[in-house]
Structure formats: C-alpha cells, structure tokens
C-alpha cells in the first residue's frame, strides 16, 4: 500500500465523509507531509513506536522561520493529524501502528485574552454615526459578543439565516454541526438599523461597502475573516484599548468569560460555543479566578 496514495485517500475521506473544511484539509495534509518527509517510509506498515518517538523528538527540536521552537500546541496538532490518520488506516484494515499507542504531549495552558466590562462597553460603542459602514460595524461587534460565534461562522451567515424577531441564529460550525445562538435586545436593534439601511441584494449578512457606495449586482460583497479582523482592530484603537491584541476571537473569549462569571455552567457554555469537548471549554475557567479571592475573603477564617 503506497503511503502517499493512502494519504490522498484519507484527505478525500475527511472531505467527503467527515465534511471537514478546506482549511482543515490543508493543515492535515501539511502535517502528514512533514511526518512522511521525516519518516522516509513507503507504506503504513513501517510506522512503529520507535519511529513515532523519533518524530516527536524531531518536532520538539524543530525551529520555525524565526528560529523559535514549535509551541507544544503546534506539536500536538501534528500528532493529532498522525493519530487520526492511523485511525483511518485501522478503519480500512490497513496494517499499521494502533492509534491508541500515540499519546498527546502535555502542553502549556493557553492564555486567554478577554475584555473587561468597561473595555467591552467602549468597543461596542466605538462605531458612531448613521452611515452604513458605522451601522455595519456596530451590528458586527454586537453580534460577535452576543453569540460568541467564530469569525468564519460570522462571515458565512446569510440574511435569511437570522431571525431578528425571535433573537435566534442557526450557526453551522466546525464539521458542519448546527447550533442555536441568541441575540441580545441591543444586538437586535443594531441589526435592524444596519439592515434597514442596506440597498443591495447580496445574500450575505455582513458586507464590504464600496467607496463609491455603488453596489454592482454581479460582485460578491461578503466580508472575509481578514476584513472582520481589520474592522475589530480599528474599533479597538478608536475605543482606546491598549496592551491587548483585540481580535474577533477576543470577543468570543469575552462572551464565554461573561457567561461563566455570571453563573453559567460549563456544559451550557460548551454547547453555546460549539465545542466538541468540554476540555476545550475549560480554558476559560481560570479567567474567573478573580471571584475566588472574594469567596475566600467572605468565607474563610470567620471564627
């Protein structure tokens, strides 16, 4: 069994059977190519414990373009891709190393950047005026914070997918999974103001606005994730938020933090964020540690 041909079949399996995104296919292809380039093997049966051990050492000592070691989380992405490839081999009864024998390395806890209430208030209110661009930016920021959706999910939203009156949005997340997210009253008002000003017929909920203000029928106006990043960054500067790299994902972090601080349980937050595993959601629990000081002060050593 030729391993390069098997890799192509695996990526096709991810695309068709697992409905993985093009970005995921690109990443998995790149990670597996790195493994095959290191291993220099011709068939899956040559993958064994020792080869994986040597590969992990290789990843740990590998330098990026800036001369830095790969982060532990990046190393684990490579190992996850390899492990999932091995699971696919087992599914097809192709002899190779059992995926269960490949463990992920312990990685450092991810640092979560989120906004404090005063910063968040300044950011959400930074777009001013009644121009279409200001109304769009205000609605965009409010939607990101009200729903906690990923920037890719926001960019893929169509106007007919959002029910403003009910305050609900059906989001298609990773792996094509659907989940329901909700709009605050302020977000509903911002969206009504923005959509009421739209004169185009583009199906996208959030669009770029031509400098000429003339909308051509045949051109796609849908915002890209990079465009949304620029909008959020511009508004953060205008809001005077310094010392933090504010991105669309910062609003997602702020959304989760806000829910947990106000008493939401971790499983509910997991569902609203669209996380497949509660382990991913647990990165947010440490941001509520400030409350622990108050609890300690209130309840400890009161005799």
Order of all β-strands in the sheet with 162-163: 162-163, 168-172, 178-182
Region of residue 274 (phi > 0: left; psi between -120 and 50: alpha; otherwise: beta): left
Catalytic residue annotation: 150, 174, 249, 252, 275, 284
Q: Which one, of 38, 110, 43, lies nearest residue 74 by Cα?
A: 110
**CA quadruple 97, 98, 100, 102: dihedral, nearest 10:** 10
Half-sphere exposure of 289 (CA within 13 A, CB side): 6
The answer to whether residues 59 and 70 touch, using CB atoms and an 8 Å cutoff, is yes
Contact 59, 105 (CB under 8 A): no
Tracing tokens 């999974």 back to the chain, one arrives at: 177
Show the CA angle centred on residue 21, arms to residues 19 and 24, nearest 5°.
Answer: 115
């Amino acid at each position: 069994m030729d391993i390069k041909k098997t890799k192509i079949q695996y990526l096709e399996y991810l695309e068709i059977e697992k409905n993985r995104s093009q970005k995921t296919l690109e990443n998995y292809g790149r990670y597996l190519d790195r493994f095959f380039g290191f291993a220099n093997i011709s068939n899956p049966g040559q993958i064994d414990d020792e080869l994986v051990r040597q590969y992990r050492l290789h990843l740990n000592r590998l330098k990026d373009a800036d001369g830095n070691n790969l982060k532990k989380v990046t190393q684990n992405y490579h190992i996850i891709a390899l492990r999932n490839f091995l699971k696919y081999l087992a599914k097809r009864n192709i002899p190779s190393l059992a995926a269960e024998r490949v463990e992920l390395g312990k990685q450092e806890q991810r640092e979560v950047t989120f906004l404090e209430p005063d910063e968040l208030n300044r950011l959400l209110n930074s777009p001013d005026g009644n121009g279409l661009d200001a109304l769009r930016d205000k609605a965009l920021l409010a939607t990101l914070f009200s729903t906690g959706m990923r920037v890719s999910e926001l960019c893929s939203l169509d106007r007919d997918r959002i029910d403003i009156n009910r305050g609900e949005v059906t989001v298609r997340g990773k792996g094509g999974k659907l989940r329901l997210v909700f709009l605050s009253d302020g977000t509903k008002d911002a969206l009504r103001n923005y959509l009421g000003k739209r004169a185009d017929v583009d199906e996208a909920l959030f669009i770029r606005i031509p400098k000429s203000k003339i909308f051509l029928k045949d051109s796609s106006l849908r915002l890209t994730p990079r465009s949304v990043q620029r909008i959020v960054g511009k508004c953060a500067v205008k809001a005077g938020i310094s010392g933090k790299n504010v991105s669309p994902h910062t609003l997602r972090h702020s959304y989760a933090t806000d829910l947990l601080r106000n008493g939401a349980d971790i499983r509910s937050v997991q569902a609203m964020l669209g996380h497949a595993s509660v382990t991913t959601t647990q990165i947010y629990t440490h941001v509520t540690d400030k409350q622990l000081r108050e609890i300690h002060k209130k309840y400890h050593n009161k005799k």
